[in-house]
Amino acid sequence: MVGKVNRLTKSIKRLSEVFRTESGAVLAGLRPLLERTEDGSLQQREHRLCLGLGLGSVQDNKSTGPQLALFMAIVTELNPTDILLWDPVMGALDVAVASALGLTIPEEESRGDLEIVPSVVYAPHAPHALAGRVLKRIARDHADGTCSSCILIYIGNPLCEVFPSLHQAVIKPVMSMKISFEERPEAFSDTYIHVLDSSIVAHLFHEGNLVKEISHFCDAEIID
């Protein structure tokens, strides 16, 4: 398996550099947003978590490698203090590749709790139930004031697809930009960069039909 891990790691790193060349300016422009408080002043935050979610398995999903490559480009540009990667379908090969890339897989006993609220959620093509569960957990922390961030960057399918019961006008992002690459475009079809302010994020929790206690943010069994 070592040889396969090395080949996959090398391929992902090469593609990551391609993506950085194509989108580096956009990604670098997101970093200052994460350091702003609600009054617009700059703040150097002690913790900044980038969470990669639902990318699938390199064993049987051709989009997983390119999606990991963009994730690497994102964490390189945004320079988070903490990086987590998780998908319930990940196997031993995925864990080995993630480790070779310097990415952290949460321990099983800690998967039910996000000690640090993510500033960035990267979830292209993640199952909507999984992405929605994580976003609602984050929204709860924005709603009760325990989150110090005023901005959430969510990279994934349109929010109106993840939360179909919400009116688009209510969850209109501060900024929304579709991701498009010449190389491996199928890996990012219908994927957007959403920049959401705290009031919009909190609304995802306060919406009556969405208020649910979330005990595990990445359960192996996902129920729509």
As averages over each run of 10 residues, the pLDDT of the chain (224 residues) reads 89 92 81 63 61 91 92 90 88 93 74 66 90 80 64 85 64 72 83 80 55 32 31
Q: Indicate the pTM of the whole model.
A: 0.81
What is the pLDDT at residue 212? 35
What is the pLDDT at residue 109? 44
What strands, in cross-sheet order, belong to the sheet with 118-123? 82-86, 49-53, 118-123, 151-156, 192-197, 175-178
Domain boundaries, the chain: 2-35+45-210
What is the pLDDT at residue 206? 57
What is the pLDDT at residue 36? 59
Domain 2-35+45-210 in this protein, CATH class: alpha beta
What is the C-alpha separation between 64 and 55, in angstroms, rounded?
6
